[in-house]
Amino acid sequence: SGLGNWEATYTTNSTYQWTQRAGTNYQGYNTANGGSNNAGVSYTSDATATYAYLRLKTDLSAATGIKISFWYMNPYYSSNYNEDYDYLYLERSTDGSSWEQVSSYSSTYHNGWTQVSNLSIPDGTKYIRFSAYMRGGNYGAGVAVDDVRITGTAPSPTWTYTGTPGI
């Protein structure tokens, strides 16, 4: 799928899940923010709302001071529809099964990428994920994320020496 260390899952409709691509496939948004690809979910033309998840496979629980930076795109389908149809959430989990929202990003009618810089993730977080909610009805244009950067402090390794010096 090209998503590397990220795992894509969904709730109700397998047609709408995160994939690697070159843009949101909507009105000229066919470029990545950086490089040549991003991860995105295209809009849903049916009336069924659905969630799609993109979870980082790396266990972050030993790290402290975690911060995440990324670029996202979440455009309206048209300026004539001034409701939010697609949502992007950043969520965290301490166990991999219960999730808590860290931040949310609703649709905007603009033609570019928006940057999120150094958003703090609480210590004790094991996993993070992007959650895309598509309300359905063909009015949202989907969501995309790109250039995700996660920083933090890893614990110092602990060494135990059990041999005899000099042997």
Mind listing the pLDDT tens digit for each residue in 13-53?
556 677 777 654 544 455 778 777 888 777 555 556 677 88
Residue 80: which pLDDT band, with cuts at 50, 70 and 90? Answer: low
**Considering Cα of 68, then 83, then 51, then 20, what sign does the dihedral take?**
negative
- For residue 148, the number of C-alpha atoms closer than 13 Å in the C-beta half-sphere is 22
Q: What is the pTM of this model?
A: 0.80
What local confidence, expressed as pLDDT, does residue 128 receive? 94
Predicted pLDDT at 124: 94
Question: Residue 91: what pLDDT?
Answer: 96
pLDDT for the residue numbered 28: 42
Q: What is the pLDDT of residues 81-140, one digit of tens each?
A: 555 567 889 999 999 999 999 999 876 666 678 899 999 999 999 999 998 887 665 555
C-beta of residue 55 within 8 angstroms of C-beta of residue 4: no
Position 73 pLDDT exceeds 70: yes
CA distance 93 to 129: 9
**pLDDT greater at residue 111 or residue 152:** 152
Look up residue 86 and give its two tokens. 């697609």
C-beta of residue 128 within 8 angstroms of C-beta of residue 20: no
* CA distance between the termini of the chain: 51
Q: Is the pLDDT of residue 68 over 80?
A: yes
Return the ∠ at Cα 30 (arms to 26 and 27), rounded to 5°. 30
Q: What is the pLDDT of residue 27?
A: 45
Handedness of CA 106, 112, 115, 121 (dihedral sign): positive
Question: What pLDDT does residue 12 have?
Answer: 63
pLDDT reported for residue 74: 76
Per-residue pLDDT, averaged over 51-73, amounts to 89
Rounded-to-integer distance, Cα 3 and Cα 145, Å: 12
Long-range contacts of 27-30 (CB under 8 A, 24+ apart): 27/75, 27/111, 27/141, 28/111, 29/73, 29/75, 29/111, 29/141, 29/144
Nearest to 9 by CA among 21, 24, 19: 19
Q: In whole angstroms, how large is the CA radius of gyration of the chain? A: 19
